[in-house]
Structure 1
Amino acid sequence: MSHRIALAVLLLAATSACAGGQAGQGSANLRGKVYVSSSVTEQGKPRALVEGTKVDLRFTDDDRLIANVGCNMMQGQVSLDGGKLSVADLSSTAMGCPKPELHQQDEWFAKLLDAKPSWKLDGANLVLTGSDTEIVLGTEAPATLEGGTWTVDGIIAGDAVSSFPGGAKATFVFQDGNMKVDTGCNYKDAAYPYEVDGQRLVAQMAVTTLIRCGDDMNSVETAIHKTLDSGEVTYKIDRNSLTLTNASGAGLTLKK
């Protein structure tokens, strides 16, 4: 083999190796990261998502994509080769969404994933582009217990988590050593002193009023009372989700 041919072979091998590295580089860049939508455009116009929801994407270290747009969780093995986001065998939980529009939003996003949208990084943002849809997502800032409002979205009883009744709303705010609970009924702008010790949260609960609030709200307030009545819960924050559980297994899930 001449020196010229040998050099050509070496250049071809080096080029192939670089190309292979570039193909996998995007996947490596996204592993372990979480992105949430900052804007959604459809046919050139802003698309409004269901109130209180965002497009939420988590790229795991084992090359899976976990997606949520407000109701069911979707996941599958993800490939980012060729500038396309491709999810193999996309699966979804089968939780009954409290609103029909949440189910429709799930279907809309699953259809977008099935179509293998294009993706690119634009600075710190991830941009997904389908045939008529563009979603811009930013990296997620970690949630903290204090600051902002936590909204109850689930009720825990032992190993089971039930969805929050659609006709009720309950919020928690932790600020300046006070836990403010508001259901708009018996818990209304109620503030209870609390302290944190590791993952333990100790609150000094007081007696509430005894107004009958309707079936949905009564069940919510009963769950809050069961969770907090002992005055001590374990709390856990995972991204923008907060879980409060007591020693008996009663608890609440909340979103910020």
Structure 2
Amino acid sequence: MGVGFRHHGMGYRVLVVVALLVAGCGGGAGAGVVGGVFHSTSVTERGAPRALVDGTRVELSFTDDGRVIARAGCNQMQAPVSLGGGKIEAGELSMTMIGCPDPRLHEQDEWLSKFLGASPSWRKDGANLVVADDSTEIVLAPEVPASLEGGKWTADTLISGDTAGSVPGGVVATLEFRDGGVEVSAGCNSGSARYRTDGSAITFEELVLTDKACGPDEMAVEKAVTEALQGRSEFKVDGQRLRLTAASGSGVGLRK
């Protein structure tokens, strides 16, 4: 159940979706939780802080159509969910299987999937969401939606139609939008462009980049980024994430 993803253009293995059976399934809603996106501010296990992999955090989203979407820094997992009785009761949990650059990220994914599969309790503490079982407590703050301009967006996903794959480890591509211009670091070359928005469309003009050769991973990322910056593309800001999709269906996903 669920849609498989694969890496694009870099010889990575095909990604599959695995189904993990976890306790409970059903309807229900949680006031102040459904429709929200929450990011961890602290994680403790047996009363002591649990260190997450550098640059990662736990993200939980509760959709209006009754699903929980979770991330711990690498793969995405989701399931039907009930929040009745102060418990997170997940149904069939599906997880993308991306070849993450650090094996600790896979371990962190497994830790989070087991935690959610154990029907942890939830409660609101002011604006924060607290999710806990007998040994672990995660405190999460509500997400403040990002704006397109201000701050750097870092690419973490390469998109080709209905498939997506992670940016190879060690390759950094960023976009910084400001006053109708965007500074581009495309993974290998860098430069700038002008842009304008019209609803969900964004049109790029005058894209100029340096012209040097890099390795295959860097050039694959650069190809995805620059295709999304050629002419008219669709864009969507969702929380702290930005998706740029060219008319061809190729594109890039970025995070603040």
Q: Does 1:131 pair with 2:117?
A: no
TM-score normalised to structure 2 length: 0.80
Q: Distance in 1 between matches of 2:209 and 2:63?
A: 44
Residue 234 (structure 1) aligns with: 234
- Unaligned stretches of 5+ in structure 2? 1-26
Larger RCO (CA within 8 A; separation ≥ 6): 2
Q: How many residues are treated as equivalent by the alignment? A: 230
Q: Aligned residue for 2:109?
A: 106
Structure 2: distance between partners of 1:202 and 1:173: 15
Alignment of structure 1 residues 1-256 onto 2, 5 Å: 27-183=30-186, 185-187=188-190, 190-228=191-229, 230-256=230-256
**Cα distance, 1:192–1:42 mapped onto 2, change above 3 Å:** same
Q: Which amino acid aligns with 2:239?
A: R
**SS where residue 205 of structure 1 aligns?**
strand
Cα 1:178/1:73, change in 2 over 3 Å: same
Q: Check whether the contact 1:167–1:216 (CA below 8 A) recurs between aligned residues.
A: no
What secondary structure, in the 3-state scheme, does the structure 2 residue paired with 1:220 have? helix
Larger radius of gyration: 1
* TM-score, length basis structure 1: 0.80
Q: Secondary structure at the match of 2:54?
A: coil
Cα deviation for residue 108 of structure 1 reads: 0.7
CA distance in 2, matches of 1:240, 1:80: 24
Runs (5+) with no aligned partner, structure 1: 1-23
In 2, are the aligned partners of 1:66 and 1:73 still within 8 Å (CA)? yes
Between structures 1 and 2, the one with greater strand share: 2
Q: Which deviates more from structure 2 when the two are superposed, residues 230-239 or residues 126-135?
A: 230-239
The secondary structure found in structure 2 opposite 1:219 is helix
Structure 1 residue matching 2:145: 3-state secondary structure: coil
Give the whole-Å Cα distance in 2 for the aligned partners of 1:163 and 1:79: 30
For residue 120 of structure 1, give the secondary structure of its aligned residue in structure 2. Answer: strand
Q: For the aligned residues, what is the CA RMSD?
A: 2.3
